Amino acid sequence: MSEPLLSLRDVVVEFPTRRGVLRALDGISLDVNAGEVLGLVGESGAGKSMIGSAIIGLIAPPGRIASGEIRLSGQRIDNLGPSQMRALRGKRIGMVFQDPLTSLNPLYTIADQLVETIRTHLPVTAAEARAQAIALLDRVGIPAAAQRIDDYPHHFSGGMRQRVVIALALCAQPDLVIADEPTTALDVSVQAQIIDLLKDICAERGAAVVLITHDMGVIAQTADRVAVVYAGRMAEIGPVSDVIHRPAHPYTRGLMGSIPSLREERARLVQIPGAMPRLDAISAGCAFHPRCDVATAACATTRPAMTHLVSAQKGEQSADRFAACLLLDHTAREGGEHGG
């Protein structure tokens, strides 16, 4: 396997506060390969959005990346200066946010916003940028794009606005798109369309996607691999079918177990008993052990490291899997039985 497009190694994000330093992300490591879709799941507050912010360099001050490194095509990007980072945003890394109703500036037309973004990154004239923008709007499914381009955001419905947002995120041809719950704020009837659009258009352009979502059905259908995050730490990462059918981490098992049937399309993530700890109250050892039904005494004292598992399933691509659990042998065996 060649070098990954994006790679995070032991990324720690800290927020200094009056009552001490909060660790929003604690040792996040993951790779995204060119052109693939990586799903990112976890409970609310787990740090999914924070991972996206860290990658694109938009962590709200006073938060900062305290240690670890982020590489894009091998080049470190976590320590770039403001102007170098700005050149990457939009150009190499595109971002789609959750709420299309508030993502667009209400006082500018769609054309203004698209042309401005295109011309920030590409050496084209205003007329060329406008032509590109119309073609792109057409591609994301805005009917009569040439006329609608001069409309203001409030002239569009939520679903249409999210299409415009996708066009904006993709207009400078980034290699990586981070989509943070791109359909959560939308009507159920258009959610699938938007996900399909995002997946197709990124596939066409060879852009990789980091897809943050609560919807396991979407992950199952869309992602190549999935990463599970808990309390700012990695729980598990691996190919989607492996993680869904043979979860290695008890937390992942809880997540999957709470879904009635994985064949059911729109199964939503249901909470496991108990709640994720607050950032200032994460216990020693494994962050999940207070809620874990198989925890041992060691889990309360020893923090598990990410451990390499090898999927030995026949007929499936053998891909790398990692999980952070002291009882990995136990769970892996159980997982194996489950699958066989």
Under the rule (CB under 6 A), what is the footprint of ligand ATP? Answer: 15, 22, 24, 42, 44-50, 60, 63, 279
Q: Which is nearer to another protein, 182 or 247 (CB)?
A: 182
Judge contact between 246 and 339, C-beta under 8 A: yes
Name the residue number minimizing CB distance to ligand ATP. 49
- Residue choice 165, 234, 244, 248 for contact with another protein (CB under 8 A): 165
CA distance to 70, 71, 96, 143, per residue, from 56 (Å): 10, 11, 12, 31
Contacts of 102 (CB under 8 A, 6+ apart): none
Residue with Cβ nearer ligand ATP (49 or 331): 49
Binding residues for another protein restricted to 246-265, rule: CB under 8 A: none
Please pick, from the candidates 10, 69, 99, 138, the single residue that binds another protein as defined by CB under 8 A.
Answer: 99
Q: Which of 193, 199, 229, 197 is nearest to 211 (CA)?
A: 199
Closest separation between CB of residue 171 and another protein, Å? 8
Does 49 participate in binding Mg ion (rule CB under 5 A)? yes
Q: Shortest approach of another protein to residue 93 CB, angstroms?
A: 8
Which x/- pattern, by CB under 5 A, does the window 84-123 give for Mg ion? ----------------------------------------
User: With CB cut-offs between 5 and 8 Å by kind, which of another protein, Mg ion, ligand ATP, none does residue 56 bind?
Assistant: another protein
CB of 15 to ligand ATP, least distance (A): 4
Which long-range contacts (C-beta less than 8 Å, at least 24 apart) are formed by 251-258? Answer: 251/288, 251/291, 251/292, 252/228, 252/323, 253/331, 254/291, 255/41, 255/216, 255/228, 256/216
- We find the least distance from the C-beta atom of residue 124 to another protein, in angstroms, to be 15
> Minimum distance from CB of 102 to another protein (Å)?
4
Residues 168/129, Cβ–Cβ less than 8 Å? no
Euclidean distance between CA atoms 169 and 164, whole angstroms: 9
Which of the ranges 47-55, 136-144, 193-201, 230-238 carries the binding residues for Mg ion, by CB under 5 A? 47-55
What is the distance between the alpha carbons of residues 148 and 234, in angstroms, rounded to a whole number?
A: 43
State the Cα angle at 204 between 262 and 115, rounded to 5°. 115
Of 134, 168, 240, 276, the residue at the interface with another protein (CB under 8 A) is 168
Number of residues lying near another protein (CB under 8 A): 39
Quick one: what does residue 165 bind among ligand ATP, another protein, Mg ion, none, with the CB cut-off 5 to 8 Å set by partner type?
another protein
Q: Is 13 in the site for another protein (CB under 8 A)?
A: no
- H helices of the chain, in order, are 48-56, 82-88, 100-103, 110-121, 126-139, 145-148, 158-170, 188-205, 216-222, 240-245, 250-257, 328-339
DSSP state letters, 95-112: EE-S-HHHHS-TTS-HHH
Measured from the CB atom, the residue of 279 and 326 that comes closer to ligand ATP is 279
Query: Contact between 111 and another protein (CB under 8 A)?
Result: no
Tell me if 137 contacts another protein by CB under 8 A: no
| Residue among 133 and 295 whose Cβ is closer to another protein | 133
CB contact burial 140-159 (16+ within 10 A = b; e otherwise)? bbbeebeebbeebbeebebb
Chain centroid, CA 113 distance in Å: 24
- The residue among 49 and 222 lying less far from Mg ion, judged by its C-beta, is 49
Single out the residue of 122, 92, 97 nearest to residue 6, CA to CA.
92
Taking the least distance from each CB to ligand ATP, the nearer of 15 and 156 is 15
Contact set with Mg ion (CB under 5 A): 49
